[in-house]
Amino acid sequence: MKRRRFITVLGGAAAWPLAGYAQQSEQVRRVGVLMDRPENDPIARASVAALGKALADLGWVEGKNIRIDYRFAASDPTLFKTYAEELVGLSPDAILASSTPGLAAVREQTRTIPIVFVNVSDPLDQGFVQSLARPGGNITGFTDSDAPVLEKWLQLLKDVVPSITRVGVIFNPGNPALDLYNRAIEAAAPSLGMMVTLAPVHDDAGIEEAVAAQAREPNGALIALPSAFNAAHGDAMIAAATRHRLPLMSGSAITRAGGLMTYWMDVVALYAQAAPYIDRILNGASAADLSVQQPTRYKLIINLKTAKAIGLTVPPAMLDLADEVIE
């Protein structure tokens, strides 16, 4: 009896490590995500949800075989740097970086961990990749637009308000990608009979001052360049533009909240589109061989409620062209 009991216990002890190995055999991979928006931002929440769902559809389930570490920089240069360093320090298998400042901060910390970016404009001109078809290095991803789209913004403003001759461009100078947009706008303006004023801002007070300055003369309009900073200060821009009765062309979030119009891609969708690239990298693909993807479709959204509030009549032809009209 004693001998038989000894064998049973020994057999159980031998079996336990094997069972433990079986439970741990599916390796948990780690992905860092550096967001450019605040954690409580609606677009940030929707983007996180879209990314999580798209990864789950590919078999990557949080808590089972993947761990995702999020950091929300809220367009703060100091936080971009701090969080990039934190994420790289976790030694993830891949990092998803949002916006030009986010990508720049992560690249400064690593040239080996694969990086997939979203919401970055013209990564080739900015030196993040060697080419769009074969990026080289450890970076690839999904652009949010190219500079010529901003030329279209001027034309759309002119189509809605033909009398416009002056446009003030509101932007935060901490984002180097916006220089590309500014150059495109300045180059296109003369052919449309417009004069452009660049208005770098750092806070709500600067926004109010820039909008007031644009309103001092007639036939003015505003462009708020798409960026996390402008989205975070969208309420101030909307309030000032409405008070001064100026048409405001902006990104989707500001337009839905009270701007006049946007012509832009679906920011949230980029996060879902990035999931297959993360999946391929986790399965052994090299970022160097994954081509940079550019948007193929933009949506024209017109806020008719805002148009009425600032005394504008939007031409019916423009309403017919719109993908969405907010009433």
Burial class (CB in 10 A: 0-12, 13-18, 19+), 166: middle
CA angle 308, 193, 197 (to 5 degrees): 75
- Report whether 91 contacts 70 (CB < 8 A): no
- Report whether 258 contacts 297 (CB < 8 A): no
Q: In the chain, what are the domains?
A: 29-144+267-289 (3.40.50.2300), 148-264+299-326 (3.40.50.2300)
pLDDT (0 to 100) of residue 179? 84
- Report whether 193 contacts 289 (CB < 8 A): no
Q: Is 15 a residue whose pLDDT tops 50?
A: no
Mapped onto helix, strand or coil, the DSSP state of residue 59 is coil
Helices (H), the chain: 2-24, 42-57, 77-89, 100-109, 148-160, 178-188, 204-215, 228-232, 234-243, 252-257, 267-282, 304-309, 316-321
Q: What are the distances in angstroms from CA 164 to CA 38, 85, 104, 292?
A: 34, 46, 36, 36
Task: Please report, to the nearest 10 degrees, the dihedral formed by the alpha carbons of residues 115, 119, 124, 130 taken in order.
Answer: 20
Q: Looking at 40-54, 175-189, 305-319, which range is the least confident one?
A: 175-189
pLDDT (0 to 100) of residue 181? 87
pLDDT (0 to 100) of residue 297? 84
Q: Is 4 a residue whose pLDDT tops 60?
A: no
Which of the four pLDDT bands, split at 50, 70 and 90, describes residue 146? low
The residue whose two tokens read 């403003």 is 157
pLDDT digits (tens, 9 = 90+) for 187-200: 999 999 999 999 99
For the chain, what percent of residues have pLDDT higher than 90? Answer: 75
- Report whether 227 contacts 169 (CB < 8 A): no
DSSP code for 281: H
- Report whether 84 contacts 109 (CB < 8 A): yes
CA 59/CA 279 separation, integer angstroms: 9
Task: Compute the mean pLDDT over every residue in the chain, rounded to the nearest whole number.
Answer: 90
H-helix or E-strand spanning residue 221? strand 220-224
pLDDT (0 to 100) of residue 8? 36
Residue of 278 and 177 predicted with greater confidence: 278
